[in-house]
Amino acid sequence: MKNWVMVGLVLAAGVASAATVVDVTGTGIQKTGVAIKVANPAFANCLKKNLELTGLFEVRPSAEITVSGVSGALRAEGKGKTVSAISAFTDDKSARMAARKMSDMMSEAFGNQKGFAQDKVLFLNRGKPKAKGAAIPAELCMSYPDGGDIRQLTSDGKMVIFQRWIKDTDNILFISDLKGATQIWQMNVTTGARAVKWSFKGTPTGISVSPDGTKVAAILSFQGNPELYVLDINHGNWQRLTTTQYDVEGQPTWSPDGRQIAFVRGVNAQQIWVIDLATRRERRLTTKGRKNVDPDWSKDGKLAYISGKNIMVMDIAKGESSARVIGDAANWEHPSWSRDGRHLTASRDKAVFVIDTLEDGDKPKQMFFANGNWTAPCWAK
């Protein structure tokens, strides 16, 4: 496999222009002002973008909180609190990493909200099929939610789908036809080492890693119809959960406690169902519309999904009556929650966005600007 390939088009020095980070206007959210008095431009610009992505802060020349200091001795002071960071940086890349760490510390200290600036996002750059009916090739890529420090992880010209993080590791799983057959692969995003994790007869069409990182929900067809299975990451054994004679299953996602799995069922119309792993009892979550797909379950019990062209968010405990539209209808795909339970990544129109799900929150912000067909983000959390 080729070495890391830097996407040079994107965010030279890891920072977008000011025009891409200034739009922090919500319709009713009061934000805390932050003045950044750090001379290093890579640090200052990256911190500005990440603070504003949180929806908590607005950067301005004079403010309630001041960030000051130099490499190895940074601090944020204001509102009766001081946040100190000893992160040292020697180049622009390490300065950006120090800024992301500071942003996460400030989110928790001043905003009581989990930070996500250091959480990586996987996504695809999709190509065009080589022939009519052929699989669509894609390359795996990775960046931070501020759109900086993008890495292209593969250069194979093969189909890649359902890239998923394994909890608290640099390892991911994904589905690919790299060796001809469609198989489930494991890859270390730091070293680039990869190998086939599972190979089944038929075609796997969806995977999701359990919150504790020990199991994988997978849609497999080696026994006939595409059904929902659970695979053990460490031991390789499997358990079949569904038996559906006339429908097909797809797109699984785990509940935060690991006791339930939501999934899509249907051929002509797709609806979201949930199954309890202990009792095998199933219940239907969506009834409105004919295309409810791409579910992702947040750590605090909300389900993001696509209904038609809309991103919807549902409180699963309250049911479909609690579902509301996030933003406007815009051909959205593949929503993925951040660890803060407030923000999503999702793709549309060949671009990846960070989306604030609060009713009066910020407008969607495009992560980066570059030629390509960027899609299917998956946020580490």
Looking at the fold, whether 164 and 291 belong to one and the same domain comes out as yes
**Is residue 23 a part of any domain in this protein?**
no
Identify the three-state secondary structure at position 332: coil
**Is residue 1 a part of any domain in this protein?**
no
What total number of domains does the chain contain? 2
Looking at the fold, whether 90 and 182 belong to one and the same domain comes out as no
In eight-state DSSP terms, residue 115 is -
Token reading at 204: 């796997």
**Is residue 215 a part of any domain in this protein?**
yes
**Number of neighbouring beta carbons within 10 Å of residue 304:** 24
Looking at the fold, whether 47 and 152 belong to one and the same domain comes out as no
Looking at the fold, whether 374 and 267 belong to one and the same domain comes out as yes
Average model confidence (pLDDT) for the chain?
91
Asked whether the predicted pLDDT for residue 12 surpasses 90, the reply is no
Looking at the fold, whether 143 and 58 belong to one and the same domain comes out as no
For the range 169-178, what are the long-range contacts, defined as Cβ-Cβ under 8 Å and sequence gap of 24 or more? Answer: 169/213, 172/122, 173/197, 173/207, 173/209, 173/216, 174/140, 174/207, 175/204, 175/205, 175/206, 175/207, 177/135
Token reading at 109: 């200290």
pLDDT tens string 14-34: 333 333 333 334 445 789 999
pLDDT classification of 282: cutoffs 50, 70, 90: very high
Looking at the fold, whether 188 and 266 belong to one and the same domain comes out as yes
Looking at the fold, whether 57 and 170 belong to one and the same domain comes out as no
- Looking up residue 197, the CATH number of its domain turns out to be 2.120.10.30
| Phi (first) and psi of residue 344, to 5 degrees | -125, 155
- Looking up residue 51, the CATH number of its domain turns out to be 3.30.160
User: Looking at the DSSP assignment, which residues form a beta bridge with residue 67?
Assistant: 36, 76
Looking at the fold, whether 65 and 132 belong to one and the same domain comes out as no
**Is residue 282 a part of any domain in this protein?**
yes
**How far is Cα 110 from Cα 57, in angstroms, rounded to an integer?**
9
**Is residue 25 a part of any domain in this protein?**
no
Query: What domain range includes position 75?
Result: 31-111
What is the strand order of the sheet 181-188 is part of? 160-165, 171-179, 181-188, 194-198
**How far is Cα 38 from Cα 98, in angstroms, rounded to an integer?**
12
**How far is Cα 134 from Cα 127, in angstroms, rounded to an integer?**
12
Looking at the fold, whether 146 and 237 belong to one and the same domain comes out as yes
Residues listed for the chain: 381
Out of 87, 111, 135, a domain closes at: 111
**Is residue 235 a part of any domain in this protein?**
yes
**Number of neighbouring beta carbons within 10 Å of residue 89:** 19
pLDDT tens string 121-174: 999 999 998 888 888 999 999 999 999 999 999 999 999 999 999 998 899 999
Looking at the fold, whether 339 and 214 belong to one and the same domain comes out as yes
pLDDT tens string 207-218: 999 999 999 999
Asked whether the predicted pLDDT for residue 238 surpasses 90, the reply is yes
Which residues touch 47 (CB under 8 Å, ≥6 apart)? 36, 38, 67, 99, 102, 103
Looking at the fold, whether 315 and 185 belong to one and the same domain comes out as yes
**Is residue 4 a part of any domain in this protein?**
no
Out of 92, 111, 130, a domain closes at: 111
Task: Find the helix packing angle between 41-53 and 92-111, rounded to 10°.
Answer: 40
Looking at the fold, whether 105 and 137 belong to one and the same domain comes out as no
Mean pLDDT value across residues 348-361: 96
**Is residue 182 a part of any domain in this protein?**
yes
**CB distance 262 to 335 below 8 Å:** no
pLDDT tens string 30-63: 899 999 999 999 999 999 999 999 999 999 999 9
**How far is Cα 207 from Cα 217, in angstroms, rounded to an integer?**
5
- At 182, which helix (H) or strand (E)? strand 181-188
**How far is Cα 213 from Cα 233, in angstroms, rounded to an integer?**
8
pTM above 0.85, yes or no: yes
Nearest to 198 by CA among 224, 175, 228, 227: 175
Question: What pLDDT was estimated at residue 305?
Answer: 98
Out of 79, 111, 143, a domain closes at: 111
